[in-house]
Amino acid sequence: TMFFSLQCFLLQGASIGAKEEILGLSLQELTQRLQDNQLLPSDVLQTYLLKALEVDEKTNSVVQFLPESLTQAQALEKVNASNRGLLHGVPVSIKENFDIQGCYSTCGLICGVENLAAEDCVIAKVLRHQGAVIFAKTNVPQSLLSFECSNPIFGQTSHPMDATRSPGGSSGGEGALIGGGGSILGIGSDIGGSIRIPASFCGICGLKPTGGRLSNKGGQSSISGQKGVIPSAGPIARDVDGLALCMEALLCPKLFALDPTVPPLPFDRKIYENKSPMVVGYYEGDGFIQPNPSMRRSVREARALLENNGHKLVPFEPPRLEYCLTELVMKALFADGAETLLGKFAGDVVDPNLHYQISMYRIPKLLSWLLSVLTKPFTPRQSKALRMQGGRNVAALWKLHAAIEAYRTEFISAWRVAGIEVLLCPALGPALKIGHGGKLSALTVFHILYNLLNFPAGVVPMGTVTVQDEQELSDYRGHYGDIWEKAFPKAVAGGVGLPLSVQCVALPWQEEQCLRLMREVE
């Protein structure tokens, strides 16, 4: 029925010019025209469906189109203006792991195809309450724990600008679809950059809110029960105003009623639109993985722009980052010795992009310890990573949780001493070549820090890779010159013209401040 309606739309609907005009509108412009009856929800939806089909054919970003979306769009045309939500008639895509009634939420795993979702996830219910039309579910990497985007069920998703590159992950289908123009607003999830990396790779904007600011109910995970590195649902859009509008729409009484564990904190537009100068901390590198030349240049240029606009920029150094990553993040993610994750792969085929990671997790604890000892003289950081694997008893887990809390306190103290309000730092980019991400999970360092800290963090586009960046990449050696830093430049080489981004960070529950900095950069 949906595709028959699309054929009719092509034959008798809007002109090509009108469709291009719809696709060219910002989210704010689109919502205003829908509210004013200048555009009909069904026309907007069909325009985006046609574009999404085009983008999907190129990138394999969509795993399912929702046929009921056309009926829902038509029903919205009968809603009185006074009863319309903030997202009235807006087509929205959503990551595959979020439950939509009657659809699978597999996380790219065979075990996930056993049951259909009995009801929508909370975020989907709130989106519909605000008048949004959810029209597509988008692809993910197998298990979600990768910034590649492929799985044995739905296949490989590619970058909208370069089919040899990854769109990032784990919200890679969202990145490819929105970056290619096939959706104007999407919902992703983030446990180590899974919103921010695809947004950075695809030249769009993404926000990882504080964990718990939005509801995760009905969002599936391959490591449910892990509490040290905080996951978060969040929006992906073409511009920062689109992110802000989505947050404003979601943070409403309906959300707070559906999930009472979410603090009833409405979006504060006054903070977001505040024009007064800010004190902005910044760093170009964190001392663990050296950013490539284009990433460092993006931070420098954003810093200069902010200074020229009257903001005060202050150097900031994240405290004890190697300790944070090796002793806290890696131990927390797989405190069960990866038992929960590996259980999901029982009877499943391991995606080629995940072979390296899963093989590492399957190494027996004693052998892992022995390999750590043998490799220490040659690759000390990889040796330490091997030593972090293996399950922990309850007492050790409690000590780990206490250490994480102590580190959060230490980081906030450093933030206060520096006297900063927000923070500017690198975002991973440009898009990696397909097949490299699975062996370079250490690159999540640029983003996963803020999941452990549970700080809101977002990415905003900051130009593209230049010829000079590419020339300087040939001289990249990194801090340690180990296998991670030798592989990094090879993974991003040849990226002239591809998008770059910077990352903006704020203290917990201050999403409005984070978005405010992002808009200043934009």
pLDDT at res. 369 = 83
pLDDT at res. 282 = 98
Instruction: Examine the pLDDT at 13 and tell me if it is beyond 60.
Output: no
Q: CB count, 10 Å around CB of 459?
A: 32
For residues 129 and 8, the model is more confident at 129
For residues 442 and 369, the model is more confident at 442
| Domains observed in the chain | 1-272 (3.90.1300.10), 273-335+392-521 (3.90.1300.10)
How far from 77 is each of 49, 89, 372, 520, CA to CA, in Å? 18, 8, 63, 36
Instruction: Examine the pLDDT at 6 and tell me if it is beyond 70.
Output: no
Flag whether 194 is marked binding.
yes
Q: What is the rounded average pLDDT for all residues in the chain?
A: 95
DSSP code at position 279: E
pLDDT at res. 214 = 98
- How confident is the model over 319-347, as a mean pLDDT? 93
Q: Containing H/E element for 93?
A: strand 91-95
Largest alpha-carbon pair distance within the chain? 71
Taking the C-alpha atoms of residue 319 and residue 315, their distance in angstroms, rounded to an integer, is 13
Burial class (CB in 10 A: 0-12, 13-18, 19+), 187: buried
3-state secondary structure 173-198: HHHHHHHCCCCCEEEEEECCCCCHHH
pLDDT at res. 17 = 79
What would the pLDDT profile of 294-322 be if each residue is shown by its tens digit?
999 999 999 999 999 999 999 999 999 99
How far from 518 is each of 58, 85, 279, 310, 507, CA to CA, in Å? 30, 25, 14, 15, 14
pLDDT at res. 18 = 85
For residues 354 and 374, the model is more confident at 354
pLDDT at res. 148 = 96
Instruction: Examine the pLDDT at 408 and tell me if it is beyond 70.
Output: yes
pLDDT at res. 387 = 73
Burial class (CB in 10 A: 0-12, 13-18, 19+), 467: exposed
What would the pLDDT profile of 96-155 be if each residue is shown by its tens digit?
999 999 999 999 999 999 889 999 999 999 999 999 999 999 999 999 999 999 999 999
| Two structure tokens written together for 108 | 């790219």
- How confident is the model over 256-262, as a mean pLDDT? 98
pLDDT at res. 146 = 96
Instruction: Examine the pLDDT at 391 and tell me if it is beyond 70.
Output: no
Beta carbons within 8 Å of 499's beta carbon, 6+ residues apart: 161, 200, 201, 202, 203, 429, 430, 431, 461, 463, 464
Residues assigned a catalytic role: 95, 170, 194
Instruction: Examine the pLDDT at 48 and tell me if it is beyond 60.
Output: yes
